[in-house]
Amino acid sequence: MYPRDKAQVCENSNPAVRCDIFSCYQPATHFIGRPDGPRNLPMNLCKRCYQSLVDSIIVREGENLLKRKEELERDENIRKDKETYGGREFVCKQCGEIFYSPQRLGVHVRTAHKEEVGASA
């Protein structure tokens, strides 16, 4: 039994069906839809378009995982800094961004405001 609300990628057994991607028209080897659902609603894909779709999903998911990993690392660094410096806030004088360690504030000022720091020196 297939989940009622989830689309799936299935092999297409009808060689007369063509790819739905704009101006492709190659024989469709796969379709996205439900095997038990209506046949006029799925998206039909040839081998090349199917692989392109799979590759784009892999790239997107990889980017999402990398962003999530960076968020978790940032949150862990903030937690450690708050613990080390007793929750004190170190505020950037140029933009008002808040940091929880003087070292991170210094790195921020040197990288985000390098033109402003160089002009005042």
Q: Same domain for 93 and 63?
A: no
Backbone angles phi, psi at 93, to 5 degrees: -75, -25
Reported as a single tens digit per residue, the pLDDT across 4-36 is: 567 777 788 787 888 888 888 898 888 887 767
Q: Same domain for 24 and 61?
A: yes
Note if the pTM is more than 0.85. Answer: no
Q: Which domain holds residue 90?
A: 85-121
Q: Based on the structure, what is the number of domains in the chain?
A: 2
Q: Does residue 109 contact residue 95 with C-beta atoms inside 8 Å?
A: no
Residue 23 included in any domain: yes
Residues 116 and 60: their CA atoms lie apart, in Å, by: 36
Reported as a single tens digit per residue, the pLDDT across 74-120 is: 999 999 999 999 999 999 999 999 999 999 999 999 999 987 655 55
Q: Same domain for 65 and 95?
A: no
